[in-house]
Amino acid sequence: MTSTDTVPLLELRGDAYARGFAHGRALAERIGRMIEVYGRYFARSEAAVFGVARHFQHVIAEFSREYAEEIEAVAEGAGVDPLWIFALNARSEFLSSMPAAECTALHFGGTPFLGQNWDWERSLEDLIVLARVTRPDGHRFLMMTEPGIIGKIGLNSAGIGVCFNFLPVAKPTNGVPVHVLLRAVLDSTSLAAARGAIERAGHGRSANVLVADRDGQRFDFEFAGDERFELPDNDEVLAHTNHYLGRDIVVLRELYENSSIRLARAAQLGRAHSQRSSEAMRSMLSDRDDPANSICQSYRPQMLLGDIGTVCSIVFDLAAGVMHFRRGNAPHAPFQIYRIDEN
């Protein structure tokens, strides 16, 4: 693991056990803090958390024995009970009914430019890491993730990138966790393979998953428990925030208002930017037009979650294999550049 001006960069290589153990050992202290943070969010006894985690342990192993092995190795490396790491990887499913206004995702149609603001609780800003992963077959991916979680927002050596938004829903979410599904996308070598992984995972989560490739092709799926919707691709700039677009699913008024304002602002900015570039996307993700409902959100109290705001901003150039990354929500702070190749 190397240090940067923004976040640690973790280099992971080898098979599932080697990757997981190295992940857990390098991030053991951060994983302990993750367990404290999400233990509070889950608001259940450890025994109750473990009861739910056992279900997801089985679900993940059925979907991919390799991913289950990697999660177990993370736990071994960190010296924690594996059920806590299964719980972290299913943290969105534990919290699926919680009202959270967070994240703005963007893609410029016909271009390799994909990105998002990842908005979440303030304490996560000091915990997030970047991971560059090399599999034994040479396939590589670079992602931003939370310690202990094996899949999140990233791009890979096949020119595939993935972003996601949390979508609260009052339905059971007992399927393959969205973070495990994001990992399956990062392991995919084509857009068709990524679509196939999503279809194989079935329903059972609440999220929006936006996938694009280096040629500018894309698809976008919303999940609402027992339903899944593919959004029509009818606009040059595809944007998504934190309410459902494929169905009229009720969310809290305050959340819907915030999410709708950010979505409308993204559409407005998309029309205003004639140039489709990573620079234009970085500018859009830095927008503070409406301080109370901005795309780049400063931290502010939100119900039971604590202080919510933009933890980091990420823009991918999928053709060049480059991630532009900025920690925090200072709109004029520079982005750092990371490459999927080490050199």
User: What is the pTM assigned to this prediction?
Assistant: 0.96
Q: Is CATH 3.60.60.10 correct for 96-339? A: yes
| Residue ranges per structural domain of the chain | 15-93, 96-339
**pLDDT, position 275:** 87
- Region of 291 (left: φ > 0; alpha: ψ -120 to 50; beta: rest) is alpha
**More confident site: 251 or 68:** 68
Residues 224 and 209 sit within 8 Å (Cβ to Cβ): no
CA dist 142 and 133 (Å) reads: 6
**pLDDT, position 200:** 97
The two tokens of residue 109 are 């149609």
pLDDT at 320 over 80: yes
CA dist 144 and 80 (Å) reads: 22
Mean pLDDT of 270-279: 91
**pLDDT, position 111:** 97
**pLDDT, position 3:** 43
When mean pLDDT is compared over 92-96, 99-103, 129-133, the highest value belongs to 129-133
| Amino acid in position 89 | N
pLDDT at 343 over 80: no
pLDDT at 147 over 60: yes
Q: CATH top-level class for 15-93?
A: mainly alpha
pLDDT digits (tens, 9 = 90+) for 30-43: 999 999 999 999 99
**pLDDT, position 101:** 65
pLDDT at 2 over 70: no
| pLDDT more than 90, % of the chain | 86
Mean predicted lDDT score pLDDT of the chain: 94
Give 219's contacts (C-beta < 8 A, 6+ positions apart).
191, 195, 210, 211, 230, 233
pLDDT at 4 over 50: no
Mean pLDDT of 178-202: 98
Please, which residues bridge with residue 13 across strands?
Answer: 134
pLDDT digits (tens, 9 = 90+) for 152-187: 999 999 999 999 999 988 898 999 999 999 999 999
**More confident site: 84 or 4:** 84
pLDDT at 252 over 90: no
Residues 306 and 121 sit within 8 Å (Cβ to Cβ): yes
